[in-house]
A and B are shown apart, each in its own frame.
Chain A
Amino acid sequence: MAGYYDKGKLVESLCSIHPKEILIAYGPKKLLVDKYHWHSPTKGIVASYTPTDFDVEDHFGIFRGVDQIESFVQATAASLSMFLICQKHNCAPEDLRDKSVPSFISVGNVNFMAALEKGDTFVILGKITYYKFKQMVCDGRIYRCPQGLDLDDYFKDFNEERLLKYDLSPDFKLISDLYDITGREIDIEYFRAINKK
């Protein structure tokens, strides 16, 4: 069976839920994913986010590069690995709230080509390059979306081949290129112990 049950509902794809239902450790001000548009559990994901006033406050109206990376890791390693863990253990994200912590482990190269302003909807295209022992490494790109585009409709026939090629219409503007973004679900007791050292 692909997916997991949450409150009696089968979640076969992240596209069927709101990000807050799987990124449960992130409070509303820190959640930087609005919606999932395409999901292949072992290959990758397409998700979107639109920066708010809060996101650009005290930063001359620009969504920070560091927040692009955070948004990327939430949409990719954090969401994708939690999905796989829930699927493996046939449990819901809430069942893991007191057991593990999504941890940002490392960042490889990141290149920024352009900026994002408040209200600019962007998509994250994330590819899984490695997954083992609850540690996931992803590469990907962030693109600014054409205004008014229905992203669910645009990505409804998306596939792994198109993901690998970053096959999007030229109306999407490349914002950043990200490599080796690594996250890991860490046992909560272990997490507390290593942070006390």
Chain B
Amino acid sequence: MERQEIIDGLIEVLKTVRMIEPEKLVGVTEETDILADLNIPSSEMINIIAKTEKKFNIEFEDDDIDDLDPTVRGIIDLIQRVKERG
């Protein structure tokens, strides 16, 4: 799966999060920090991760989330690692 394809999927997920103002999703890059740049509380991150699992039909382990890098790059890397893991 290409990284841009994952970004597009992530943006679809982020559009479903009511706390995120839609205009903040314009120009999302791999450097975007989901917590800091999109201004959401850390409690919401788990909901985003749960939605990401469904979107990409994958399953994260608790340990994957323990030290999650909250940037788009970090999430893309995680999705790719989990897909490779199978």
Contacts and interface: CB of A to CB of B under 8 A. Distances in A.
A64 interface: no
Interface stretch (A15-23, A115-123, A128-136, A165-173): A128-136
Contacts, number: 30
Interface string B32-58: 000000000111001001100000000
Interface residues of A, number: 15
Given A106-B41, A133-B60, A184 B66 contact: no
Interface string B55-69: 000001010011100
B60 A182 contact: no
A120 B42 CA distance: 35
Interface residues of B, number: 11
B46 A186 contact: no
Interface in B1-36: none
Q: Is the interface of A mostly helix, strand, loop or mixed?
A: strand
Q: Is the interface of B mostly helix, strand, loop or mixed?
A: helix
A2 interface: no
Nearest to B63: A187
B46 A132 contact: yes
Interface in A143-195: 182, 184, 186-187, 189-190
B12 to A, nearest CB: 20
Interface of A: 85, 88, 105-106, 132-135, 137, 182, 184, 186-187, 189-190
A-B pairs, 5 with minimum CB distance: A187-B66, A106-B43, A133-B65, A135-B46, A105-B43
Given A134-B62, A134-B66, A184-B46, 20 more contacts: A105-B41, A105-B42, A105-B43, A106-B41, A132-B46, A132-B50, A133-B46, A133-B49, A133-B50, A133-B65, A134-B65, A135-B43, A135-B46, A182-B43, A184-B43, A187-B66, A187-B67, A189-B67, A190-B66, A190-B67
